[in-house]
Amino acid sequence: MSTRDRHTRIIAFLKVVLPLAALALLCTLFLLSRAIRTHTTIPFAETEIQERLRDQQITGPFFSGTTTNGDQMSFSAKKLVTVLGRIGANRAEDVKVEIKTNSGSTYQMQAQLAELDISDSVATLSGDVSINSSTGYNISTDNLTVTISDTELASTEPIKATGPVGSLTAGSFRIFTPKSSDSAQMLFSGRVMLVYTPNRTRK
């Protein structure tokens, strides 16, 4: 009898304590919810959220590889975005490209933007494009097409350049490796104007 009575008293006690504990817990949650600010500012603008949802992007991309000619090429950018509706197309910002040829020449390029077409292995640089070569040429233009597979640089826009022979302007230029040669060649065309600056250090 004593065991049954004790069990009955425990059940009766829990029937009172458990609902009270649940009520106290609910009151505590209610008070805490009033103390917490639910209308906090999202740390992204609405337009930025929409852009991130619409376009896939990579921050700080970098890749390098070897072309069919055996030249080494590296590419880096501040941000890489997949262009909506264009398969294999990407847009990069604050772009840097470096090419090291088999012959020992090096070309370093910088641009504000780059459109990458992976299917055609072509990168189109635009916006304050600069090309610096290890041979001493510094070239600036508004647009530059880089053929990644064959290591060819070409611009159909007017260019300005300085080099060992002086300064020059041209309507277009091209850097390529002829099939009959292992070294890259630089070709300026279209109303080329050269201001020759003799090297006075020579005797």
Q: Would you place residue 149 in the very low, low, confident or very high pLDDT band (cuts 50, 70, 90)?
A: confident
DSSP type of residue 40 = P
Question: For residue 88, what are the CA distances in angstroms to 54, 82, 85, 95?
Answer: 16, 8, 10, 18
| Type of residue at 145 | T
Q: What is the mean pLDDT of the chain?
A: 77
Q: Would you place residue 48 in the very low, low, confident or very high pLDDT band (cuts 50, 70, 90)?
A: low
Residue 54 predicted with pLDDT over 60 = no
C-beta of residue 83 within 8 angstroms of C-beta of residue 92: no
CB burial readout 160-193, b (16+ within 10 A) else e: ebebeeeebebebbebbbeeeeeebebebeeeee
Residue 29, phi-psi category: left (phi > 0), alpha (psi -120 to 50), beta (remainder):
alpha
Quickly count: other Cβ atoms within 10 Å of residue 94's Cβ: 15
Residue 140 predicted with pLDDT over 90 = yes
State pLDDT tens for residues 154-175: 999 999 999 998 999 999 999 9
The owner of tokens 């880096």 is 76
Percent of the chain with pLDDT strictly greater than 90: 36
User: What was the pLDDT predicted at 150?
Assistant: 79
The span from the CA of 85 to the CA of 87, in Å, is: 6
| Type of residue at 116 | L
